Amino acid sequence: MIQTNRLQKIAILSLLMAVAWSCKTKEEPKVEEKPNILFILSDDHTSQAWGIYGGILEEYVQNKNIQRLANEGAVLNNAFCTNSICSPSRATILTGQYSNVNQVYTLREPLPVGHPNVAKTFGEAGYQTAVIGKWHLFRQPEGFDHFEVLPGQGVYVNPILKTKDNWVDGADGTQGKQYEGFSTDVITDLTIEHLKNRNKDKPFLMFTHFKATHEPFDYPERFADLYVDEEIPEPESLLDFGPESTGRTFNGQILERLADRWQAATERPDEFWTYYPGLPYPLDGLDSVQKRKKIYQKLVKDFMRSGAAIDDNIGRLLDFLEEEGLADNTVVVYTADQGYFLGEHGFFDKRLIYEESLRMPFVIRYPKEIKGGQRIDDIILNIDFPALMADYAGIEKPSYMQGRSFRKILNGNTPADWRKQMYYRYWLHEPKRPAHFGVRNHRYKLAFFYGQGLERSGASSEATDPQWEFYDLENDPKELHNAYADPKYADIISEMKKAIVEERQKYGDTDENFPEMQSILEEAF
Protein backbone atom coordinates (compact mmCIF):
# COMPACT_ATOMS: atom_id res chain seq x y z
CA MET A 1 0.00 0.00 0.00
CA ILE A 2 2.83 2.34 0.94
CA GLN A 3 4.64 1.39 -2.30
CA THR A 4 1.48 2.11 -4.35
CA ASN A 5 1.03 5.56 -2.77
CA ARG A 6 4.66 6.31 -3.47
CA LEU A 7 4.29 5.36 -7.13
CA GLN A 8 1.16 7.48 -7.40
CA LYS A 9 3.00 10.50 -5.95
CA ILE A 10 5.85 10.02 -8.42
CA ALA A 11 3.40 9.79 -11.33
CA ILE A 12 1.56 12.93 -10.21
CA LEU A 13 4.86 14.81 -9.76
CA SER A 14 6.03 13.76 -13.23
CA LEU A 15 2.75 14.91 -14.72
CA LEU A 16 3.00 18.29 -12.98
CA MET A 17 6.59 18.72 -14.21
CA ALA A 18 5.54 17.89 -17.76
CA VAL A 19 2.69 20.41 -17.60
CA ALA A 20 5.01 23.04 -16.15
CA TRP A 21 7.59 22.38 -18.85
CA SER A 22 4.88 22.60 -21.50
CA CYS A 23 3.69 25.93 -20.14
CA LYS A 24 7.24 27.23 -19.98
CA THR A 25 7.77 26.18 -23.56
CA LYS A 26 4.62 28.04 -24.63
CA GLU A 27 5.58 31.10 -22.62
CA GLU A 28 9.14 31.15 -23.99
CA PRO A 29 9.05 30.12 -27.66
CA LYS A 30 12.41 29.63 -29.28
CA VAL A 31 13.45 32.77 -31.15
CA GLU A 32 14.76 32.01 -34.63
CA GLU A 33 18.16 33.61 -35.14
CA LYS A 34 18.02 36.17 -37.92
CA PRO A 35 20.61 35.67 -40.64
CA ASN A 36 23.36 38.11 -41.45
CA ILE A 37 23.55 39.30 -45.05
CA LEU A 38 26.80 40.03 -46.88
CA PHE A 39 26.02 41.58 -50.27
CA ILE A 40 29.13 41.83 -52.45
CA LEU A 41 28.75 44.03 -55.53
CA SER A 42 31.30 44.67 -58.25
CA ASP A 43 31.19 47.12 -61.13
CA ASP A 44 30.82 45.78 -64.70
CA HIS A 45 32.19 42.30 -63.79
CA THR A 46 30.30 40.72 -66.64
CA SER A 47 29.11 37.11 -66.77
CA GLN A 48 31.49 36.27 -69.65
CA ALA A 49 34.39 36.78 -67.24
CA TRP A 50 33.08 34.75 -64.28
CA GLY A 51 33.99 31.34 -65.64
CA ILE A 52 30.82 29.68 -64.32
CA TYR A 53 28.63 30.64 -67.27
CA GLY A 54 30.69 28.94 -69.96
CA GLY A 55 31.96 30.92 -72.93
CA ILE A 56 35.35 31.50 -74.52
CA LEU A 57 36.96 32.84 -71.32
CA GLU A 58 35.90 29.94 -69.10
CA GLU A 59 39.36 28.34 -68.97
CA TYR A 60 41.22 31.63 -68.50
CA VAL A 61 39.55 33.52 -65.64
CA GLN A 62 40.73 33.19 -62.04
CA ASN A 63 37.53 32.19 -60.26
CA LYS A 64 38.13 29.62 -57.53
CA ASN A 65 36.12 31.57 -54.94
CA ILE A 66 33.26 32.44 -57.28
CA GLN A 67 33.22 28.72 -58.09
CA ARG A 68 33.29 27.98 -54.37
CA LEU A 69 30.13 30.05 -53.89
CA ALA A 70 28.50 28.39 -56.89
CA ASN A 71 29.29 24.91 -55.56
CA GLU A 72 27.90 25.76 -52.13
CA GLY A 73 24.92 27.82 -53.30
CA ALA A 74 22.80 28.74 -56.31
CA VAL A 75 23.62 30.48 -59.58
CA LEU A 76 21.07 32.58 -61.43
CA ASN A 77 21.25 31.94 -65.16
CA ASN A 78 18.75 34.65 -66.08
CA ALA A 79 19.26 37.62 -63.78
CA PHE A 80 18.87 40.94 -65.58
CA CYS A 81 19.45 44.62 -65.03
CA THR A 82 16.58 47.07 -65.57
CA ASN A 83 18.86 49.98 -66.64
CA SER A 84 22.39 48.90 -67.46
CA ILE A 85 24.52 51.66 -66.05
CA CYS A 86 26.21 52.15 -62.67
CA SER A 87 24.19 54.67 -60.65
CA PRO A 88 20.71 53.53 -61.75
CA SER A 89 21.46 49.88 -61.07
CA ARG A 90 22.76 50.70 -57.60
CA ALA A 91 19.69 52.81 -56.88
CA THR A 92 17.48 49.92 -57.98
CA ILE A 93 19.32 47.42 -55.77
CA LEU A 94 18.80 49.73 -52.80
CA THR A 95 15.15 50.54 -53.47
CA GLY A 96 13.70 47.66 -55.49
CA GLN A 97 12.38 50.26 -57.93
CA TYR A 98 12.72 51.09 -61.61
CA SER A 99 14.50 54.33 -62.51
CA ASN A 100 11.27 56.20 -63.18
CA VAL A 101 10.27 55.61 -59.54
CA ASN A 102 13.55 56.10 -57.67
CA GLN A 103 14.47 59.01 -60.00
CA VAL A 104 18.02 57.88 -60.70
CA TYR A 105 17.94 57.72 -64.50
CA THR A 106 21.55 58.37 -65.54
CA LEU A 107 24.91 58.97 -63.86
CA ARG A 108 24.37 62.29 -62.13
CA GLU A 109 21.20 62.01 -60.06
CA PRO A 110 21.18 61.19 -56.34
CA LEU A 111 18.40 59.33 -54.65
CA PRO A 112 15.89 61.93 -53.43
CA VAL A 113 16.37 62.98 -49.82
CA GLY A 114 14.24 60.83 -47.55
CA HIS A 115 13.60 58.20 -50.22
CA PRO A 116 12.99 54.70 -48.78
CA ASN A 117 15.71 52.09 -49.16
CA VAL A 118 16.56 48.64 -47.90
CA ALA A 119 19.11 49.88 -45.36
CA LYS A 120 16.47 52.03 -43.65
CA THR A 121 14.07 49.10 -43.63
CA PHE A 122 16.65 46.76 -42.10
CA GLY A 123 17.67 49.33 -39.50
CA GLU A 124 14.08 49.61 -38.37
CA ALA A 125 14.00 45.82 -38.02
CA GLY A 126 16.98 45.75 -35.66
CA TYR A 127 19.82 45.14 -38.09
CA GLN A 128 23.08 47.05 -38.10
CA THR A 129 23.77 48.32 -41.59
CA ALA A 130 26.92 49.34 -43.43
CA VAL A 131 28.23 50.05 -46.93
CA ILE A 132 31.92 50.15 -47.79
CA GLY A 133 33.34 50.86 -51.25
CA LYS A 134 31.75 52.35 -54.34
CA TRP A 135 28.59 54.40 -53.80
CA HIS A 136 28.25 56.63 -56.90
CA LEU A 137 24.95 58.20 -55.85
CA PHE A 138 26.27 61.74 -55.20
CA ARG A 139 24.64 62.48 -51.85
CA GLN A 140 25.49 61.07 -48.44
CA PRO A 141 24.11 57.55 -47.94
CA GLU A 142 20.92 57.40 -45.87
CA GLY A 143 19.89 54.55 -43.58
CA PHE A 144 23.37 53.15 -42.96
CA ASP A 145 24.78 53.03 -39.44
CA HIS A 146 28.24 53.08 -40.96
CA PHE A 147 29.64 53.96 -44.36
CA GLU A 148 33.03 54.47 -45.96
CA VAL A 149 32.58 55.16 -49.66
CA LEU A 150 34.64 56.24 -52.64
CA PRO A 151 34.12 59.78 -53.95
CA GLY A 152 32.47 59.39 -57.35
CA GLN A 153 34.20 56.59 -59.25
CA GLY A 154 37.14 56.66 -56.85
CA VAL A 155 40.59 55.41 -57.82
CA TYR A 156 42.18 51.99 -57.86
CA VAL A 157 45.49 52.80 -56.13
CA ASN A 158 45.65 54.39 -52.67
CA PRO A 159 41.92 55.19 -52.63
CA ILE A 160 40.24 57.92 -50.63
CA LEU A 161 37.02 57.03 -48.80
CA LYS A 162 34.48 59.36 -47.21
CA THR A 163 32.50 58.94 -43.99
CA LYS A 164 29.81 60.85 -42.08
CA ASP A 165 32.55 62.87 -40.40
CA ASN A 166 34.12 64.23 -43.58
CA TRP A 167 31.31 64.14 -46.11
CA VAL A 168 31.17 66.42 -49.16
CA ASP A 169 28.61 65.72 -51.90
CA GLY A 170 29.63 64.41 -55.31
CA ALA A 171 33.08 63.29 -56.41
CA ASP A 172 34.85 65.62 -53.98
CA GLY A 173 37.20 63.53 -51.90
CA THR A 174 39.37 66.33 -50.52
CA GLN A 175 38.11 65.80 -46.98
CA GLY A 176 38.21 62.01 -47.07
CA LYS A 177 40.78 59.59 -45.70
CA GLN A 178 43.35 57.97 -47.98
CA TYR A 179 44.32 54.32 -47.59
CA GLU A 180 47.49 52.78 -48.93
CA GLY A 181 47.00 49.80 -51.23
CA PHE A 182 44.86 48.56 -54.09
CA SER A 183 41.17 49.49 -53.94
CA THR A 184 39.76 45.95 -53.98
CA ASP A 185 42.10 44.89 -51.17
CA VAL A 186 41.44 48.04 -49.13
CA ILE A 187 37.64 47.69 -49.37
CA THR A 188 37.93 44.10 -48.16
CA ASP A 189 40.25 45.14 -45.31
CA LEU A 190 37.75 47.75 -44.17
CA THR A 191 34.84 45.33 -44.42
CA ILE A 192 36.58 42.75 -42.27
CA GLU A 193 37.66 45.38 -39.76
CA HIS A 194 34.11 46.70 -39.49
CA LEU A 195 32.63 43.23 -39.03
CA LYS A 196 35.17 42.38 -36.35
CA ASN A 197 34.15 45.50 -34.41
CA ARG A 198 30.40 45.17 -35.01
CA ASN A 199 27.74 44.93 -32.31
CA LYS A 200 27.58 41.15 -31.99
CA ASP A 201 24.16 41.29 -30.35
CA LYS A 202 22.62 42.34 -33.68
CA PRO A 203 22.51 40.74 -37.12
CA PHE A 204 24.20 42.71 -39.89
CA LEU A 205 23.42 43.86 -43.42
CA MET A 206 26.81 44.50 -44.99
CA PHE A 207 27.23 45.94 -48.49
CA THR A 208 30.77 45.49 -49.85
CA HIS A 209 31.05 47.38 -53.13
CA PHE A 210 34.18 46.95 -55.24
CA LYS A 211 35.25 49.54 -57.81
CA ALA A 212 36.65 46.77 -60.00
CA THR A 213 36.25 45.86 -62.83
CA HIS A 214 35.27 49.35 -64.03
CA GLU A 215 37.37 51.17 -66.62
CA PRO A 216 40.41 51.65 -66.52
CA PHE A 217 40.42 47.93 -65.60
CA ASP A 218 43.36 48.17 -63.22
CA TYR A 219 44.70 45.33 -61.06
CA PRO A 220 47.17 44.70 -58.24
CA GLU A 221 50.79 44.13 -59.17
CA ARG A 222 50.52 40.49 -58.11
CA PHE A 223 48.40 39.80 -61.20
CA ALA A 224 50.54 41.73 -63.69
CA ASP A 225 52.06 38.58 -65.22
CA LEU A 226 48.73 36.85 -65.83
CA TYR A 227 48.18 36.13 -69.56
CA VAL A 228 51.42 37.83 -70.63
CA ASP A 229 52.35 35.13 -73.13
CA GLU A 230 48.82 33.97 -73.93
CA GLU A 231 46.49 34.71 -76.84
CA ILE A 232 42.94 34.96 -75.52
CA PRO A 233 40.16 33.55 -77.76
CA GLU A 234 38.04 36.12 -79.58
CA PRO A 235 34.25 36.51 -79.58
CA GLU A 236 32.50 35.52 -82.79
CA SER A 237 31.37 39.08 -83.52
CA LEU A 238 34.64 40.86 -82.71
CA LEU A 239 35.04 41.97 -86.34
CA ASP A 240 31.55 43.46 -86.60
CA PHE A 241 32.48 46.91 -87.94
CA GLY A 242 29.01 48.37 -88.37
CA PRO A 243 25.25 47.94 -88.56
CA GLU A 244 25.37 46.70 -92.14
CA SER A 245 26.29 43.13 -91.27
CA THR A 246 23.73 42.52 -88.52
CA GLY A 247 20.91 44.94 -89.16
CA ARG A 248 21.35 46.68 -85.80
CA THR A 249 20.17 50.25 -85.92
CA PHE A 250 23.03 52.22 -84.31
CA ASN A 251 26.84 52.34 -84.28
CA GLY A 252 27.55 51.54 -80.63
CA GLN A 253 30.65 52.05 -78.50
CA ILE A 254 33.33 50.42 -80.66
CA LEU A 255 36.69 49.21 -79.39
CA GLU A 256 38.60 51.82 -81.37
CA ARG A 257 37.21 54.49 -79.06
CA LEU A 258 38.85 52.73 -76.14
CA ALA A 259 42.13 52.81 -78.06
CA ASP A 260 41.66 56.55 -78.55
CA ARG A 261 41.37 56.90 -74.78
CA TRP A 262 44.59 54.96 -74.27
CA GLN A 263 46.30 57.30 -76.70
CA ALA A 264 44.93 60.41 -75.00
CA ALA A 265 45.95 59.12 -71.57
CA THR A 266 49.44 58.43 -72.91
CA GLU A 267 49.87 61.85 -74.49
CA ARG A 268 48.10 63.96 -71.83
CA PRO A 269 48.32 62.00 -68.56
CA ASP A 270 47.75 65.09 -66.41
CA GLU A 271 44.69 66.21 -68.37
CA PHE A 272 42.84 63.00 -69.21
CA TRP A 273 40.07 61.81 -66.86
CA THR A 274 41.81 58.55 -65.93
CA TYR A 275 44.94 56.47 -66.45
CA TYR A 276 45.29 52.92 -67.80
CA PRO A 277 47.70 50.16 -66.82
CA GLY A 278 50.21 48.99 -69.39
CA LEU A 279 50.60 52.20 -71.40
CA PRO A 280 51.87 53.06 -73.92
CA TYR A 281 50.18 50.42 -76.06
CA PRO A 282 51.23 51.14 -79.66
CA LEU A 283 48.84 50.33 -82.51
CA ASP A 284 50.69 52.09 -85.32
CA GLY A 285 50.98 50.42 -88.71
CA LEU A 286 48.14 47.93 -88.17
CA ASP A 287 45.23 47.48 -90.53
CA SER A 288 41.67 47.66 -89.17
CA VAL A 289 41.44 43.94 -88.39
CA GLN A 290 44.87 43.73 -86.75
CA LYS A 291 44.16 46.85 -84.73
CA ARG A 292 40.84 45.62 -83.38
CA LYS A 293 42.32 42.25 -82.47
CA LYS A 294 45.17 43.89 -80.57
CA ILE A 295 42.82 46.28 -78.75
CA TYR A 296 40.72 43.31 -77.69
CA GLN A 297 43.71 41.45 -76.23
CA LYS A 298 44.61 44.32 -73.91
CA LEU A 299 41.02 44.95 -72.84
CA VAL A 300 40.21 41.34 -72.02
CA LYS A 301 43.50 40.64 -70.22
CA ASP A 302 43.28 43.77 -68.07
CA PHE A 303 39.63 42.99 -67.34
CA MET A 304 40.37 39.43 -66.21
CA ARG A 305 43.29 40.60 -64.06
CA SER A 306 40.99 43.10 -62.36
CA GLY A 307 38.47 40.29 -61.86
CA ALA A 308 41.15 38.05 -60.36
CA ALA A 309 41.58 40.59 -57.53
CA ILE A 310 37.85 40.43 -56.86
CA ASP A 311 37.92 36.63 -56.68
CA ASP A 312 40.92 36.82 -54.35
CA ASN A 313 39.05 39.09 -51.96
CA ILE A 314 35.80 37.15 -52.09
CA GLY A 315 37.91 34.29 -50.75
CA ARG A 316 39.18 36.49 -47.92
CA LEU A 317 35.62 37.43 -46.97
CA LEU A 318 34.43 33.82 -47.05
CA ASP A 319 37.40 32.71 -44.95
CA PHE A 320 36.64 35.43 -42.41
CA LEU A 321 33.06 34.21 -42.05
CA GLU A 322 34.33 30.67 -41.49
CA GLU A 323 36.90 31.76 -38.91
CA GLU A 324 34.31 33.79 -36.99
CA GLY A 325 31.74 31.00 -37.02
CA LEU A 326 29.37 33.13 -39.10
CA ALA A 327 29.25 31.18 -42.35
CA ASP A 328 26.22 28.99 -41.61
CA ASN A 329 24.03 31.92 -40.61
CA THR A 330 25.11 34.40 -43.27
CA VAL A 331 23.48 34.89 -46.66
CA VAL A 332 26.30 35.71 -49.07
CA VAL A 333 25.53 37.25 -52.46
CA TYR A 334 28.01 38.12 -55.17
CA THR A 335 26.78 40.01 -58.21
CA ALA A 336 27.74 42.82 -60.57
CA ASP A 337 25.74 45.99 -61.18
CA GLN A 338 25.34 45.06 -64.86
CA GLY A 339 27.10 43.27 -67.69
CA TYR A 340 29.75 44.54 -70.08
CA PHE A 341 30.86 44.02 -73.66
CA LEU A 342 34.25 42.38 -74.03
CA GLY A 343 34.58 42.72 -77.78
CA GLU A 344 31.19 41.26 -78.69
CA HIS A 345 29.75 43.22 -81.67
CA GLY A 346 33.09 45.02 -81.67
CA PHE A 347 31.98 46.86 -78.50
CA PHE A 348 33.17 47.74 -75.03
CA ASP A 349 31.05 49.33 -72.24
CA LYS A 350 27.43 48.41 -71.40
CA ARG A 351 24.06 50.31 -71.51
CA LEU A 352 22.33 48.23 -74.18
CA ILE A 353 19.54 45.66 -74.00
CA TYR A 354 21.87 43.15 -75.71
CA GLU A 355 22.64 40.06 -73.64
CA GLU A 356 26.23 40.83 -72.61
CA SER A 357 25.14 44.16 -71.14
CA LEU A 358 21.72 43.14 -69.85
CA ARG A 359 22.78 40.11 -67.82
CA MET A 360 23.72 40.37 -64.16
CA PRO A 361 25.79 37.41 -63.02
CA PHE A 362 24.57 36.35 -59.59
CA VAL A 363 25.48 33.67 -57.05
CA ILE A 364 24.04 33.21 -53.55
CA ARG A 365 24.99 30.95 -50.64
CA TYR A 366 23.00 30.27 -47.47
CA PRO A 367 23.95 26.89 -45.99
CA LYS A 368 20.90 26.70 -43.73
CA GLU A 369 18.49 26.78 -46.63
CA ILE A 370 19.91 26.86 -50.17
CA LYS A 371 20.98 23.59 -51.73
CA GLY A 372 24.45 23.79 -53.24
CA GLY A 373 25.18 23.42 -56.95
CA GLN A 374 21.83 24.75 -58.17
CA ARG A 375 21.21 26.53 -61.48
CA ILE A 376 18.09 28.72 -61.64
CA ASP A 377 16.56 29.58 -65.04
CA ASP A 378 13.70 31.82 -63.88
CA ILE A 379 13.84 35.49 -64.88
CA ILE A 380 15.08 37.52 -61.91
CA LEU A 381 15.58 41.32 -61.90
CA ASN A 382 17.62 43.66 -59.75
CA ILE A 383 14.32 45.09 -58.44
CA ASP A 384 13.92 41.69 -56.73
CA PHE A 385 17.19 41.73 -54.77
CA PRO A 386 16.09 43.85 -51.77
CA ALA A 387 12.79 41.97 -51.49
CA LEU A 388 14.77 38.72 -51.21
CA MET A 389 17.00 40.19 -48.51
CA ALA A 390 13.96 41.41 -46.57
CA ASP A 391 12.41 37.95 -46.84
CA TYR A 392 15.45 36.29 -45.28
CA ALA A 393 15.40 38.84 -42.47
CA GLY A 394 11.77 38.07 -41.68
CA ILE A 395 10.65 41.50 -42.89
CA GLU A 396 7.36 41.74 -44.74
CA LYS A 397 8.03 43.12 -48.21
CA PRO A 398 7.75 46.93 -47.99
CA SER A 399 5.16 48.50 -50.26
CA TYR A 400 7.76 50.75 -51.91
CA MET A 401 9.53 47.77 -53.53
CA GLN A 402 8.34 46.89 -57.04
CA GLY A 403 10.21 43.57 -57.09
CA ARG A 404 9.41 40.23 -55.45
CA SER A 405 11.36 37.86 -53.26
CA PHE A 406 12.61 34.78 -55.12
CA ARG A 407 13.34 32.79 -51.97
CA LYS A 408 10.87 30.08 -52.96
CA ILE A 409 12.57 29.77 -56.34
CA LEU A 410 15.92 29.24 -54.62
CA ASN A 411 14.25 26.43 -52.67
CA GLY A 412 13.02 24.76 -55.83
CA ASN A 413 9.44 26.09 -55.84
CA THR A 414 8.78 28.64 -58.57
CA PRO A 415 5.44 30.42 -57.97
CA ALA A 416 2.90 29.78 -60.72
CA ASP A 417 2.54 33.52 -61.30
CA TRP A 418 6.27 34.27 -61.56
CA ARG A 419 7.21 36.59 -64.45
CA LYS A 420 7.74 35.10 -67.89
CA GLN A 421 9.20 38.30 -69.33
CA MET A 422 11.12 41.36 -68.19
CA TYR A 423 11.04 45.08 -68.99
CA TYR A 424 14.18 47.14 -69.59
CA ARG A 425 14.76 50.86 -70.13
CA TYR A 426 17.96 52.81 -70.79
CA TRP A 427 17.60 56.60 -70.48
CA LEU A 428 21.05 58.15 -71.11
CA HIS A 429 20.55 58.89 -74.81
CA GLU A 430 23.31 59.62 -77.29
CA PRO A 431 23.22 58.98 -81.04
CA LYS A 432 25.63 56.03 -81.04
CA ARG A 433 23.70 54.41 -78.17
CA PRO A 434 20.13 55.70 -78.37
CA ALA A 435 17.72 55.66 -75.46
CA HIS A 436 15.48 52.61 -75.67
CA PHE A 437 13.14 50.23 -73.90
CA GLY A 438 12.05 46.68 -74.56
CA VAL A 439 10.92 43.28 -73.38
CA ARG A 440 12.82 40.02 -73.14
CA ASN A 441 11.19 36.66 -72.46
CA HIS A 442 12.75 33.20 -72.38
CA ARG A 443 13.13 33.09 -76.16
CA TYR A 444 12.56 36.47 -77.81
CA LYS A 445 13.64 40.07 -77.37
CA LEU A 446 11.99 43.18 -78.81
CA ALA A 447 13.56 46.63 -78.35
CA PHE A 448 12.37 50.09 -79.35
CA PHE A 449 15.15 52.66 -79.76
CA TYR A 450 13.08 55.81 -79.40
CA GLY A 451 16.13 58.08 -79.55
CA GLN A 452 15.15 61.01 -77.30
CA GLY A 453 17.19 62.59 -74.50
CA LEU A 454 14.08 63.85 -72.64
CA GLU A 455 16.29 66.36 -70.84
CA ARG A 456 17.73 63.65 -68.64
CA SER A 457 21.00 64.62 -66.94
CA GLY A 458 23.93 64.08 -69.31
CA ALA A 459 21.75 62.93 -72.22
CA SER A 460 22.26 64.29 -75.74
CA SER A 461 19.65 66.65 -77.18
CA GLU A 462 20.36 65.26 -80.66
CA ALA A 463 17.44 62.96 -81.42
CA THR A 464 17.69 59.83 -83.57
CA ASP A 465 15.01 58.23 -85.71
CA PRO A 466 12.90 55.64 -83.86
CA GLN A 467 13.97 52.08 -84.72
CA TRP A 468 12.94 48.53 -83.80
CA GLU A 469 15.13 45.49 -83.20
CA PHE A 470 13.96 41.91 -82.67
CA TYR A 471 16.01 38.80 -81.83
CA ASP A 472 15.18 35.10 -81.66
CA LEU A 473 17.48 34.06 -78.81
CA GLU A 474 17.05 30.37 -79.51
CA ASN A 475 18.15 30.56 -83.14
CA ASP A 476 20.37 33.62 -82.74
CA PRO A 477 21.76 33.63 -79.17
CA LYS A 478 24.60 36.03 -80.04
CA GLU A 479 22.10 38.55 -81.48
CA LEU A 480 23.81 38.77 -84.84
CA HIS A 481 20.68 39.30 -86.95
CA ASN A 482 17.96 41.87 -86.37
CA ALA A 483 14.88 39.93 -87.52
CA TYR A 484 12.33 42.70 -87.05
CA ALA A 485 11.48 42.75 -90.78
CA ASP A 486 11.23 38.97 -91.12
CA PRO A 487 7.55 38.18 -91.86
CA LYS A 488 7.67 34.83 -90.06
CA TYR A 489 7.97 36.70 -86.75
CA ALA A 490 5.19 39.22 -87.44
CA ASP A 491 2.67 37.66 -85.04
CA ILE A 492 5.24 37.23 -82.28
CA ILE A 493 6.39 40.83 -82.65
CA SER A 494 2.79 42.02 -82.48
CA GLU A 495 2.27 40.14 -79.21
CA MET A 496 5.52 41.46 -77.79
CA LYS A 497 4.53 45.03 -78.58
CA LYS A 498 1.43 44.42 -76.47
CA ALA A 499 3.70 43.01 -73.75
CA ILE A 500 5.79 46.19 -73.78
CA VAL A 501 2.67 48.30 -73.25
CA GLU A 502 1.56 46.03 -70.41
CA GLU A 503 4.96 46.15 -68.69
CA ARG A 504 5.17 49.91 -68.99
CA GLN A 505 1.75 50.30 -67.40
CA LYS A 506 2.61 47.78 -64.70
CA TYR A 507 5.68 49.75 -63.60
CA GLY A 508 4.22 53.21 -64.20
CA ASP A 509 6.68 54.03 -66.98
CA THR A 510 4.28 55.58 -69.48
CA ASP A 511 6.05 58.85 -70.49
CA GLU A 512 2.99 60.92 -69.61
CA ASN A 513 5.26 63.82 -68.66
CA PHE A 514 7.14 63.85 -71.97
CA PRO A 515 4.98 65.37 -74.75
CA GLU A 516 7.68 64.70 -77.36
CA MET A 517 7.19 60.96 -76.79
CA GLN A 518 3.45 60.85 -77.45
CA SER A 519 3.51 61.04 -81.24
CA ILE A 520 6.45 58.62 -81.34
CA LEU A 521 4.58 56.10 -79.21
CA GLU A 522 1.32 56.50 -81.11
CA GLU A 523 3.05 55.72 -84.39
CA ALA A 524 5.13 52.87 -82.97
CA PHE A 525 2.32 51.07 -81.14
**409-423 tens-digit pLDDT:** 999 999 999 999 999
Residue 23, in any domain of the structure: no
SS3 assignment, position 277: coil
Residue 27, in any domain of the structure: no
Given a cut of 70, whether residue 1 has pLDDT beyond it is no
Given a cut of 80, whether residue 70 has pLDDT beyond it is yes
Given a cut of 50, whether residue 84 has pLDDT beyond it is yes
| Whether 157 contacts 141, CB under 8 Å | no
Residue 496, in any domain of the structure: yes
**351-376 tens-digit pLDDT:** 999 999 999 999 999 999 999 999 99
Overall average pLDDT of the 489-508 stretch: 98
The reported pLDDT for the residue numbered 245 is 87
The reported pLDDT for the residue numbered 27 is 47
Task: Tell whether the torsion through CA atoms of 507, 513, 517 and 522 is positive or negative.
Answer: positive
**9-20 tens-digit pLDDT:** 444 445 445 444
The reported pLDDT for the residue numbered 317 is 98
| Total tally of structural domains belonging to the chain | 1
CATH number at residue 345: 3.40.720.10
Cβ burial of 230 (10 Å; 0-12, 13-18, 19+) is: exposed
Residue 181, in any domain of the structure: yes
Q: Radius of gyration over alpha carbons of the chain, in Å?
A: 26
Identify which of 482, 484, 479, 483 has the alpha carbon closest to the alpha carbon of residue 344.
Answer: 479
Q: Maximum Cα–Cα distance for the chain, whole Å?
A: 114
Categorize the per-residue pLDDT at 3 as very low, low, confident or very high, splitting at 50, 70 and 90: very low
Residue 264, in any domain of the structure: no
The reported pLDDT for the residue numbered 23 is 44
Residues with Cβ < 8 Å from 376, sequence gap 6 or more? 74, 75, 76, 77, 78, 406, 409, 410
Angstrom distances, CA of residue 517 to CA of 215, 338, 497: 33, 27, 16
User: Which DSSP helix (H) or strand (E) runs through 423?
Assistant: strand 421-426
**Inter-axis angle of helices 183-196 and 288-323, to 10 degrees?**
20
Residue 321, in any domain of the structure: yes
The reported pLDDT for the residue numbered 11 is 47
Residue 257, in any domain of the structure: no
The reported pLDDT for the residue numbered 20 is 47
Residues with Cβ < 8 Å from 402, sequence gap 6 or more? 96, 97, 98, 101, 383, 507
Domain extent, residue 196, equals 36-224+291-524
**250-292 tens-digit pLDDT:** 999 999 999 999 999 999 999 999 999 999 999 999 999 999 9
Residue 313, in any domain of the structure: yes
Given a cut of 90, whether residue 5 has pLDDT beyond it is no
